[in-house]
C-alpha cells in the first residue's frame, strides 16, 4: 500500500471562509473563521468553532447572537486582514464595511458580503482551547442579483472562496461538476448492477 | 438597501464533501456527509453533524471510532451513490471500495480516496434530530503523489469537491486566488493606512 500517515495535524479540505460578526463592548466586530458548518436541517442550525482567546467569543456569549457573513473572492484581502488583526489589540474590524442588521439586535452583518446568516445562540460546547457555538439560523440575507431564477442562492454569482490548511491558501470555487442526489443514480445502474 | 431575507433555510457555501467510515454490525460502511469541519488545532479535533436516523451514528456510538475520507472529483458518482443508498435498507456501501485501516481498529478508510482522517470519538452532542460527533484526529492518510515538495497535502493534486445546498450541486475547487495570513497585509497598508 502506498499510503503514508502525516499524523494528527492533517486538515479538512476545503473550508468555507466566513466573517463572524458580533457586538463587543467596543462595538461591532468581524472575525475571519473557516471552522463553520451547518449541523441540522430543522430547526435549521449551524455551528462555529472559535478559539476562546478571541474577543468575538465573549461577545457571542454575552449577547447570545451573531452573524456568519460569506465574503466573495473580491473581498479576499479584507477578509484576510480581519484574520490578521485583533479587536483585543485595538483593531476596528467593522471599519472596512457598511453594516446592516436584520431582526436580531446583536447580529451585525456586512452589506458588501453577498450572503449573511443571522444567528441566535442555541448551545455552547467547551472543546478545550476552542468553544463551539451552535446556533439557530433566523435569517439569510442576500440580494436578488445573487439568486437563480428559482429563488435559490447561486454560488456562481455569490463567488465565495475556500481555505486550505496547513498550506494556508485561498481558492475560488470552480466548475459545476455534477448534481447531488442525482449523479449517483447512474453510478448505481452502471457499476453495481451491470445486469 | 437591496438586501432580502430568504428565511432560516439558507445554507453555508461551500461545504466539503466527505465519506464518513464506520464499522456497523453488518460490516464497514461509508456515509456521504458535508457537515464536517475542523474545530480545534491542538489537540487536533474535527466534528461531524450526522442525522440520528443513520446506521453510521449507531456504529460511531458503539465503537467510538470512525474515519473521514475525502473523495476526489473522479469519485463524485460513487460518493453521491453513498448518499442515495442506506445501510439500514441493506446497501453494502463498502462494496465499491478497497479498504485499509491505520492504528485504530474501527476506522475503516478508502484506498481510492486521496486523503483519509482517522478519528477517535471525544464527545457527542445532542442537537435534536442530529448529533454532533467531536473527535480527536489520530492519523492523516494520503500518498506521496498528493503532497507538495514541502510535505503538505496539495489541494490541486487531491482535487476534492464541494457541495452547495439547497441547489444541491457539486463543484470542483478552482484557482488559487491568494495566500492566507498574507494577502491581508497589503490590504491594511493600502486601504486602512494610506499614509
ipTM greater than cut 0.90: yes
Closest approach of B25 to chain A, Cα-based (Å) = 22
Q: How many CB contacts within 8 angstroms connect chain A with chain B?
A: 368
Q: Which residue of B has its CA nearest to A111?
A: B3
With pLDDT > 90 as the criterion, what percentage of chain A qualifies? 86
Window 62-81 of A, Cβ < 8 Å to B? 68, 70, 73, 76-81
**Element (DSSP H or E) covering residue B171:** strand B169-179
**What pLDDT, on the 0 to 100 scale, is given for residue A188?**
66
Report pLDDT digits (tens) over B61-91: 999 999 999 999 999 999 999 999 999 899 9
Dihedral over alpha carbons B174, B175, B176, B177 (to 10 degrees):
-110
Q: Kindly report, residue by residue over A127-185, the tens digit of the pLDDT.
A: 999 999 999 999 999 999 999 999 899 999 999 999 999 899 999 999 999 999 999 99
Q: What is the pTM of this model?
A: 0.94
State the average pLDDT over residues B173-190: 88
For B158, the closest chain A residue by CA position comes to A13
Name B183's bridge partners: none
Dist CA A61 CA A70 (whole Å)? 22
Residues B14-36: tens digit of each pLDDT: 999 999 999 999 999 999 999 99
pLDDT at A96: 96
pLDDT for residue A195 is more than 70: no
Selected residues 118-177 of chain B with any CB under 8 Å from a CB in chain A: 123, 125, 127-130, 132, 134, 136-145, 148, 151-155, 158, 160-177
pLDDT band at A193 (very low <50, low <70, confident <90, very high): very low
CB contact under 8 A, A15 and B6: no
Using alpha carbons, select from B96, B74, B129, B169 the residue that is nearest to residue A39. B129
pLDDT value at B92 more than 60: yes
- Say yes or no for a CB contact (<8 Å) between A84 and B6: no
Confidence of residue B195 (pLDDT cuts 50, 70, 90): very low
Amino acid at each position: 500500500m502506498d499510503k503514508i500517515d502525516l499524523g494528527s495535524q492533517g486538515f479538512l479540505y476545503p473550508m468555507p471562509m466566513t466573517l463572524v460578526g458580533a457586538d463587543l463592548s467596543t462595538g461591532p466586530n468581524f472575525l475571519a473563521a473557516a471552522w463553520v458548518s451547518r449541523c441540522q436541517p430543522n430547526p435549521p442550525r449551524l455551528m462555529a468553532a472559535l478559539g476562546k482567546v478571541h474577543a468575538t467569543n465573549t461577545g457571542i456569549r454575552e449577547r447570545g447572537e451573531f452573524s456568519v457573513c460569506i465574503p466573495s473572492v473580491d473581498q479576499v484581502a479584507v477578509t484576510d486582514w480581519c484574520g490578521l488583526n485583533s479587536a483585543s489589540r485595538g483593531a476596528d474590524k467593522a471599519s472596512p464595511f457598511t453594516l446592516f442588521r436584520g431582526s436580531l439586535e446583536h447580529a451585525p452583518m456586512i452589506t458588501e458580503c453577498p450572503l449573511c446568516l443571522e444567528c441566535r445562540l442555541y448551545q455552547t460546547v467547551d472543546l478545550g482551547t476552542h468553544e463551539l457555538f451552535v446556533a439557530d439560523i433566523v435569517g439569510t440575507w442576500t440580494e436578488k442579483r445573487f439568486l437563480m431564477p428559482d429563488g435559490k442562492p447561486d454560488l456562481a454569482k455569490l463567488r465565495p472562496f475556500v481555505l486550505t490548511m496547513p498550506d494556508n491558501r485561498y481558492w475560488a470555487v470552480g466548475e459545476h461538476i455534477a448534481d447531488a442526489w442525482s449523479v449517483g443514480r447512474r453510478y448505481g445502474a452502471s457499476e453495481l448492477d451491470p445486469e
